[in-house]
Structure 1
Amino acid sequence: MEIPATVVSPGCKECCERCVGSLPWASLIATILLYMGVALFCGCGHEALSGTVTILQNYFEVIRAPGDVLDVFTIIDILKYIIYGLAAGFFVFGVLLLVEGFFTTGAIRDLYGEFKITACGRCLTAFLMVLAYLFFLVWLGVTAFTSLPVFMYYNVWSMCKNATSVEGANLCLDLRQFGAVTISEERKVCMGSEKFLNMCDSNELDLTFHLFVCALAGAGAAVIAMVRTNIL
């Protein structure tokens, strides 16, 4: 009499190994890095722009232009809306990146069939590669643009740190040099004046400068994540 073979159900260890092996770890790490970089850029960038508004109003006495005139405050508001759009767009992109990783991982193909998963995965991978390159080019521009306020704030921050060593020098911060106001409008703060000393002693300048630095670091992290995505 033939003894039927017993069916051995997989144990907890085998199930865990199969579950862990089916995860797209490379895409998951790239998505987490992308989310962290975009969140750091958007959060710090938004607060840095708000700090810039405070500095312009309190120490340079710049006021909002009446009506729909395109002044520096309107440009800052537009940049804030751009940050909101970038945050929403990259959230969707991160979700698509994870879906692409799940569809193209080898364990998922073995589990659900080679043809369907491979065909869907190839189409999704091709679409995401094009999208990733476009986002990569856009984000390179964003990173380059973010370095500009970091450079400007670094100059101002250096002037405040070296104010005692260059005491008596006739150095001024003129907003017309940075394109923040029109040529006919004179808004400047000179070293040794009360406004300059108050600005250097305040927390707004130091905090805004470091927030822009963090935003630049977040943009760099997002660029690294998209490079990682394109390599994969």
Structure 2
Amino acid sequence: MVVLLSTNDRFPGWTLLATLLCLAGAGLYCPTLFMAVIQTKDLFQMGGRQLSTDFDLLVEIIKWASVGLSAWMGLMSLVFLCVGCMAKNVTDVRSSRGYDSNVRGGICNGFTIVITYLLFLLWLGVSCFSVLPVFLFYLTAHVAVTIMGTSGGCINLKQFDQLFLLYVLALVGALLVTLSMVHFLMAQAANFVHIRESREALKYEDTKKKEEQELNIIMNSRQNLAGNW
């Protein structure tokens, strides 16, 4: 039995929710990690300690990688939203674009699922990486851990509670983006199933039209023959 899909529900609500989560997570992750890395660098420079060139380079890489990654995720979330809207449109079996449009929509949606899954793995790794500084500060929250500088001074990590908050917010942002990837995957998988069902419905409609046309041709031929006799 072929079920015709509704033409009224064309707006991808789940994809919109995933987009909002991704934008919120990326918008939270970028500035908090950027500021946290800068303050971490200041922490290691206290007490007159000189930082190596490699450490400075690592700090710069992490700072601008967070900016680039967050901007890229914001752009990708909008792309996924557009793909979700197109997927809703191609599932309309009454669409004048027909079977070819449905096939192209299915291929595009399948390719998007692969990209989303890779991004999910990427942000899962980012989330795991973001746990490390939070775990370190949690361990030192009630312990007077100090770092000796070259001048003989000490740095007490307890005075950097604002830095701990920044790393926590960065972790929350990374988790929000990871969660948004899960929502994108669920929405895209549902769209993939709907596209396949609508493709079957289109095949059924095409077959039915061809059978009706053949039947009309046969009936017209019989009527013409009867008229000749």
Q: TM-score, normalised to structure 2's length?
A: 0.69
Match of 2:178 in 1: 223
CA deviation after TM superposition for structure 1 residue 76, in Å? 1.3
Q: 2:38 aligns with which of 38, 45, 50?
A: 50
SS in 2 for 1:91: helix
1:36 alignment partner AA? A
- Aligned counterparts of 1:131 and 1:105: Cα–Cα separation in 2: 19
1:115 is paired with a residue whose SS is: helix
User: Could you say which residue in structure 2 is the equivalent of 1:64?
Assistant: 51
Q: Give the partner amino acid of 2:146.
A: L
Maintained 8 Å contact 2:48/2:150: no
Q: CA deviation at 1:154?
A: 1.8
Q: Sort the Cα spacing of 1:112 and 1:150 in 2 relative to 1 into closer, same or farther, 3 A.
A: farther
Contact 1:34/1:94 (CA < 8 Å) preserved in 2? yes
User: In the TM superposition, what is the alpha-carbon distance from 1:229 to its structure 2 partner?
Assistant: 1.2
Contact 1:173 1:188 in 2 (8 A): no
Aligned partner of 2:71 among 88, 91, 114:
88
Distance 1:112 1:90 in 2: 34
Structure 2 unaligned spans of 5+: 1-6, 188-229
Q: Which structure would you say has the larger Rg?
A: 2
SS at match of 1:159: coil
1:158 aligned to which of 142, 159, 162: 142
Residue number in structure 1 paired with 2:128: 144
With over 3 angstroms needed to count, the CA separation of the structure-2 counterparts of 1:135 and 1:157, relative to structure 1, is: same
Contact 2:90/2:105 (8 A) holds in 1: no
The answer for unaligned runs of 5 or more in structure 1 is: 1-16, 161-171, 175-185
Residue correspondence of structure 1 range 1-232 to structure 2 within 5 A: 21-58=9-46, 60-65=47-52, 69-71=53-55, 73-105=56-88, 109=92, 110=94, 113-159=97-143, 172-174=145-147, 187=149, 195-196=155-156, 200=158, 202=159, 205-232=160-187
Alpha-carbon displacement from aligned partner over 1:16-48 (angstroms, at most 9, x marks no partner): x95xx4321111111110111111111211111
Contact 1:97 1:128 in 2 (8 A): yes
Q: Comparing both structures, which one devotes a greater share of its residues to helix?
A: 2
CA contact under 8 A between 2:29 and 2:172: conserved in structure 1? yes
Cα distance in 1 for partners of 2:163, 2:95 equals: 51
Deviation at 1:221, TM superposition (A): 1.1
CA RMSD of aligned residues (A): 2.7
The alpha carbon displacement at 1:111 in A equals 5.5
* Secondary structure at the counterpart of residue 27 of structure 2: helix
| Aligned-pair identity (%) | 25
Q: Residue 219 of structure 1 aligns to which amino acid in structure 2?
A: A
